[in-house]
Amino acid sequence: MYTILITVGVITGIATVLAVLLTFADSYIADYGIKKITINKEKEFEIDGGSTLLSSLTSQSIFIPSACGGKGSCGYCKCKINSGGGPVLATELSYLSKDDLQNNVRLSCQVKVKEDMSIEIPAELFNVKMFSATVEKSTNVTDKIKQLRFKITSNDPASLDFKAGQYIQLLAPPYPGSPEEVYRAYSIASATKDEGYIELLIGYVEGGIVTTYVHQHLSNDDKVTFTGPYGDFYLQDTDAEVILVAVGTGMAPIRSILYELLAQKSERKISFFFGARTKSDLFLLDEMEMFERELPNFKFIPTLSRPEENDDWTGEVGRVTHAIEKRLEESDSPKEAYLCGSAPMIDSTVKVLVAKGIPEEKVYFDKFD
């Protein structure tokens, strides 16, 4: 027993010394000094070197999308680094395409600021802000999906200026079982004119850090933080016929798009194909009925892939692509489609829509990871 205690003490002592040395090295040996970051050749700022580019930008209230909290496991935080990025790291390679590598596109969460840098980011990211809000309402719309309504409480900005279809990144603070702050992306489900508020539809994923926070820890009147808006998936300003396709929480951006069309008093032909497993997985049906009343050329087409015997279901059965193949009429009139769901659903739906005569460049989508 005495020998074991000595061994444990020696190992603990070595670990403590190593920790002190690493702290010293990070603070002094790896002191890179003040470094300048130039963005899009027009905006400059100086920061203490040594942090990741992602966190350095965040410190200047420039918010790059990142769904993994800077751990290099989502690939969202790409930006072009013209100079000062150093060699590409092994942790980046699986997220960078051949074109990315040729165009100096990197993961900002993996690149450390060790020298002056020149980078490029989409200009719209300068419009992304951080918001404070409170949970005004949290409702279970199915056994796995919550509808959340946030009241924005920050004074500047006091409302979120977004396009129907875009998303925000919600911050989950530390909670029992999750010691770190984590951001995740969620599509905005509310109308653009609903100033001072946003709504989200968030499904529960077992083991998901933010979904667990939302479903098991977040309550009415709680304070929340989010950044936004993000994304290039949004309703286009045309007169083309609109095809909407979603499954599960993919309803969120489609709902926002429908409210936008309603605000426009649109007379465009609109078809919304929504896929679910069973009848109990359908939700917001009262709103779909409202859209059918208020939008003269709108049709909601739900389809169940696994209807149960007691569902008494008389609607479409099968995958959502089957309903599209059956119900979508081919014509020479211009069409555009908006899709939100899992990657396999998106990929299979794009093929069906292209086969129906819709140009692939007119098929816009937002894929879940």
Q: What is the pLDDT of residues 180-195, one digit of tens each?
A: 888 999 999 999 999 9
User: Residues spanned by CATH 2.40.30.10 within the chain?
Assistant: 128-230
d(CA 292, CA 278): 22
Q: Read off the pLDDT band of 83 (50, 70, 90).
A: very high
pTM of the predicted model over 0.85: yes
Nearest to 253 by CA among 234, 272, 277: 234
Residue 30 is predicted with a pLDDT of: 59
User: Residues spanned by CATH 3.10.20.30 within the chain?
Assistant: 34-124
Q: Read off the pLDDT band of 339 (50, 70, 90).
A: very high
Q: Read off the pLDDT band of 3 (50, 70, 90).
A: low
d(CA 327, CA 303): 11
The superfamily in CATH containing domain 34-124 is Beta-grasp domain (3.10.20.30)
Are 167 and 202 contacting, i.e. CB atoms less than 8 angstroms apart?
Answer: no
Are 209 and 109 contacting, i.e. CB atoms less than 8 angstroms apart?
Answer: no
In the predicted model, is pLDDT for residue 332 greater than 50? yes
Are 287 and 257 contacting, i.e. CB atoms less than 8 angstroms apart?
Answer: no
Q: Read off the pLDDT band of 290 (50, 70, 90).
A: very high
Q: Read off the pLDDT band of 174 (50, 70, 90).
A: very high
Distance, C-alpha 101 to centroid of its chain: 24
d(CA 218, CA 222): 7
The CA R_g of the chain, rounded to the nearest whole Å, is 24
Task: Tell me the per-residue pLDDT of 211-270, one tens digit each, with 9 for 90 and over.
Answer: 999 999 999 999 999 999 999 999 999 999 999 999 999 999 999 999 999 999 999 999
Q: List Cα–Cα distances, 44 to 86, 218, 277, in angstroms.
A: 20, 38, 51
Buried/exposed code over 302-323 (b: 16+ C-beta within 10 A; e: otherwise): bbbbebeeeeebeebeebbbbb
Beta-bridge partner residues of 364: 338
Using DSSP's 3-state secondary structure scheme, residue 95 falls into: coil
Query: For the CA atoms of 247, 248, 252, 257, what is the dihedral angle to 10 degrees?
Result: 20
Task: For the chain, give the percent of residues with pLDDT over 70.
Answer: 91
- Which residue's structure tokens are 């010394």? 17
Using DSSP's 3-state secondary structure scheme, residue 359 falls into: coil
Are 254 and 340 contacting, i.e. CB atoms less than 8 angstroms apart?
Answer: yes
How many Cβ atoms sit within 10 Å of the Cβ of residue 122?
A: 15
Residue 223 is predicted with a pLDDT of: 97
Q: Read off the pLDDT band of 295 (50, 70, 90).
A: very high
Q: What residues contact 33, with CB distance under 8 A and at least 6 apart?
A: 48, 49
Using DSSP's 3-state secondary structure scheme, residue 149 falls into: strand
Q: In terms of C-beta density within 10 A (0-12 exposed, 13-18 middle, 19 or more buried), how is residue 17 classed?
A: exposed
User: Topology of domain 241-368, per CATH?
Assistant: Rossmann fold (3.40.50)
Distance, C-alpha 224 to centroid of its chain: 16
Least confidently predicted of 112-116, 280-284, 298-302, 330-334: 330-334
**What does pLDDT average to over the chain?**
91
> Residues 97-108: what's their mean pLDDT?
95
Q: What is the DSSP letter of 27?
A: I
Side-chain-facing half-sphere of 108: CA atoms under 13 Å: 26
End-to-end CA distance of the chain: 51
Are 3 and 13 contacting, i.e. CB atoms less than 8 angstroms apart?
Answer: no
User: Topology of domain 128-230, per CATH?
Assistant: Elongation Factor Tu (Ef-tu); domain 3 (2.40.30)
Residue 23 is predicted with a pLDDT of: 47
More confident site: 273 or 8: 273
